Chains A and B, each alone.
Chain A
Amino acid sequence: MNKEDFLRELASELADLPEKDREDAIKYYSDYIDDAGYDPDTVIEELGSPKAVAATVRNEAGIITEPGPVSNPPGTMVRPAPAASDRADRRRLPAWAIVLLTILSPLIAALGLSALILGLAVLLVIIVLALALPCSTLLCAAAGIMMLIAGADVIRHFVPIGFFTVGGGFAFLGAGALLLILSALYLCKFLPFCFRSVFFSRADKSAAAKEGMA
């Protein structure tokens, strides 16, 4: 396709545009082809089809660019308008968030209260276990010792019951030994771990508060 054919087809593609716009485009591409010095037969390979070129002429705002090394021309970057609308969007967000929070506030309060109660219950369980484990250890030991003493007395009068009582005493002493291990683990390992995790986070906060005051 040579220059004349190309321009003729371009003109017919742009037939519905105002005459001046059409002539402008024809003039531009006529100059362009002359200045580029394209081989008359390869104009279409260089420029693209008249139809495609006509589409770019028609669409002044839409620039078709091929992905190049510089994809951010200065004219397209720092636009104050979108930034302002962004900020407005950010300011609008808390408004509906506040409404949502107001609507959900009974639910949130209930959830918060139950979380608090759950926390207190866990604390209570920890404290009760701390008391109950050593107590039951002592009780088991005491019961075991008493049953051994009682069994030793009974065994002199009636052997089977005496053996049974002494056996029960040993069983209690065994349970007491197991409980002793359990309470030792609980008091020496688990409780310090709990205190450390609670107090370390508090210590950080109080240190920050002290710094803030000073």
Chain B
Amino acid sequence: MDAIVLAVVNMDAEGTYGYKITQDVRTIMDVSDSTLYPVLRRLMRDDCLEVYDREFNGRNRRYYKITEKGRAQLNMYKGEWYEYSRRLNRVFTGERLIYEGSGPENAEDGTGDE
């Protein structure tokens, strides 16, 4: 969950806001409206996210932006995910993959377009 939220926030260089984060997460999993606030709070407490207020339609909207620490955390999650999906793939397809190159590096290559 933390990883998905970090990835979603990471997509916007400018930062993004609560409702949009919820909608983006909803494209891949079914979460209720009140699910994400605790996650955002936790990520903020761990210094993975920072907030700032910006004017939008005559009111101040709160934006969430990923920090350096958050980006490092996200890369770690990506490495874990790569490793996990690789193993899962092997179990499902029953194939023995040839070890070529290390996983996490390949996962990081996709950072920009994800």
Contacts and interface: CB of A to CB of B under 8 A. Distances in A.
Contacts of B61: 31, 34-35
Interface string A183-206: 000000000000000000000000
Nearest to B61: A31
B80 A77 contact: yes
Interface string A75-89: 111100000000000
Contacts, number: 101
Interface size class of B (residues with CB under 8 A): 20 to 34
B29 A73 contact: yes
B19 interface: yes
Interface residues of A, number: 36
B77 A75 contact: yes
3 closest Cβ contacts across the A-B interface?
A: A68-B30, A35-B19, A74-B81
Interface of A: 24-25, 27-29, 31-32, 34-36, 46-48, 52-53, 56-57, 59-71, 73-78
16 contacts: A32-B22, A35-B17, A35-B19, A35-B20, A36-B33, A53-B34, A60-B38, A63-B1, A63-B39, A64-B34, A66-B31, A66-B32, A70-B28, A70-B29, A74-B81, A77-B80
